[in-house]
């Protein structure tokens, strides 16, 4: 994740993602817009490279289905599941995800 920017000892700088997050309307992150919330945080958690090759499909009973561009990505992402789940749940403030299933798109 990005490091916090510092300006001398004044501490007036904030991370750009926190500023952007606070500027978005609360309705975007309601339960009705769960996929949008997940997509927003997925992109922050996994970073640019993984977010560019992955697409969130659906969340059902705590299991998130994620399509990835190419079967070579599935074994690369498998070891990262636990860390991604922990970070998403931490951001949600509740146990939103129990697992992630990565599937290769054709």
Determine if the pTM surpasses 0.85: no
CATH T-level assignment (fold) for domain 16-105: GMP Synthetase; Chain A, domain 3 (3.30.300)
Q: Is 51 exposed, middle or buried (0-12, 13-18, 19+ CB in 10 A)?
A: middle
Q: Report how far residue 7's alpha carbon sits from residue 27's, in angstroms, rounded to the nearest whole number.
A: 33
Distance (Å, rounded) from C-alpha 44 to C-alpha 87? Answer: 10
Give the pLDDT confidence of 37-68 residue by residue, as tens digits: 899 999 999 999 999 999 999 999 999 999 99
90 alpha carbon, distance to own chain's centre: 11
Query: How does pLDDT run across 17-27, given as a tens digit for each residue?
Result: 566 656 655 55
Q: Where are the domains of the chain?
A: 16-105
């Amino acid at each position: 994740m990005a490091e916090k920017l510092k300006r001398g000892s004044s501490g007036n700088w904030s991370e750009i993602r926190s500023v952007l997050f606070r500027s978005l309307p609360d309705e975007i992150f309601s339960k009705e817009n769960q996929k949008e919330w997940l997509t927003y945080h997925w992109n922050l958690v996994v970073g640019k490279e993984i977010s560019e090759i992955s697409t969130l499909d659906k969340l059902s009973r705590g299991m998130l289905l994620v399509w990835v561009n190419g079967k070579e990505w599935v074994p690369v992402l498998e070891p990262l599941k636990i860390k991604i789940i922990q970070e998403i749940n931490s951001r949600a403030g509740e146990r939103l995800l129990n697992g992630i299933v990565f599937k290769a798109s054709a």
